[in-house]
Structure 1
Amino acid sequence: MYPPPAGQWNYGQPGQPGYPPGYAPGPPGYPMAPPPQGTNGFAIASFVLGLLGCCLLAVPFGFIALSQIKQRNQGGRGLAIAGLVITAVYAVLAVGLLAIGVATDSHKSASPDNSTRTSDPNGPTSVSISDLKTGDCVQTVKEGDHVKRVTITPCDSAHDAEVITTVQLPGSWPGSEDAAFKKASDTCAVQLDQLMSGSSMYDQLENFILYPANAAQWNLSNGRASCMVHYADGRKLTGKVPR
């Protein structure tokens, strides 16, 4: 038998497979990973509940899904993460809204004497009765009226009454409008006598009181009343009442 010519491969004996020099059958390939076994139910639930804002369930379902997906070779990791992210966004928004609400409530509950008036100080201004301040001059007030807002005006123009002082009424809501009026009248009478007894106009003036007439107004104003004076004969005041 002659040897094969140089540079040619020996393909072995007849009936046997031949292999190129230096090559041999390689080892078997790596096995392919099995495909994911469906989408994890907790991942779907976390995503849907996150969209609906059910944070108390979306968060634990999301973490359960991430754990199960890894162990069970399931799909849905993106859904679980999305559910957690959406829940976090809702939480941030809730904290922001809560902060805004607290700031708003703090502003509303501030003392009326610290309120800011943005209208023209040289012209009439409509204010809530709970925002009246000592020294305000008030237009158009009548006995027996139930009012929520009054108009204040510069005291050198004609007006009906002047706020001499504001008082905090003692105790809690007394249970009726008549009882609230008596409490406000008694409290203001003491204060006005002390503040106005030396006034040159003392004998020409009468008391006028703005007070909370029901429980809701009492709570809104924290039991606060405005003690005012006006001319007894109905004339308009045209300047500050002398003390």
Structure 2
Amino acid sequence: MNFAPPDNYDWTPPGPASPRRTEPFAVVALILGLLTCFPVAIPFAAAALVRIRRSGDAGRAMAIAGLVMSLVFPLAGAGAVYGGIRLYESFATPEGHVAFDAAEVGDCVDGLDNADHYVPLVWCEAPHQGEFLGLVSAPDDEKADEACSALLERTTADENLSFLSFATDGGRAPCYMVNGVSGGRLVGSGASARPVRPEEEVLEGTLVHAAELLVGTCANEVLDGDKFVRFVACDKPHEGKLLATFALPKSPWPGKQEVARLAVQGCEDRTRDRAEGTLWTRYPSDADWVYDQRVACYDT
């Protein structure tokens, strides 16, 4: 049996529910988060979450996403920049060297008289040009000298020792302890550092840069092709005797052939056939050229 609805019965089905309004601040926070404008995105995201909680509007997920991205993207960018800098430094810093303003207190170095940016690290018990005392805060070079002098006095009471300071950079200047009387070398470190006497300029058996021995001294490991040789007394078996040293003019890397030509020509001019054996020339490589242009001439 079928029953028809009364004539006055309203049987119209309900319409679809109207969509919730999206909170505008949430949209702005998401866009700013994508653009890594975190100083502005964070307040917009926080305001959007508060307004959504009160009104029930849509957009909570967008506000949270904008907040997260505004925090994560800058951190990721900073990490990428820091990693890139560290990677660059690992390739740019020559092996066994340190930037003259980035050494650690107590590090002993050579090459201060020809420092471009990097200086070679050496063993403190072997003769060396300087020891890093530290960085001092100073607005100008005059104040840097005063601060370095005070730092030296706290390190040693030896009046024969002095300091070398480099130009301030960003209000900070590196200080090195050096042999200030003769411009010679040091041996030891800290309070035990002292000027090197001529007779102990090089300890026998010590590895030394091929161009840093005294002219007339002898060495082994000369023919190994490395820039370091091992000092030995001339009355003992040795591979070579140092006849002369000099430095090529600073310039962009001229190429290996040109450096070799200038080095050989310079050694021949300076030794004037004094070599009793074969004249061996040690010259800088392209990796060393930026901070070292020294040439050594050995009689082998």
TM superposition score category, shorter chain reference: 0.3 to 0.5
**TM-score between both structures, scaled by the size of structure 1:** 0.46
Answer 1 or 2: which has greater strand percent. 2
Structure with higher Rg: it is 1
Answer 1 or 2: which has greater helix percent. 1
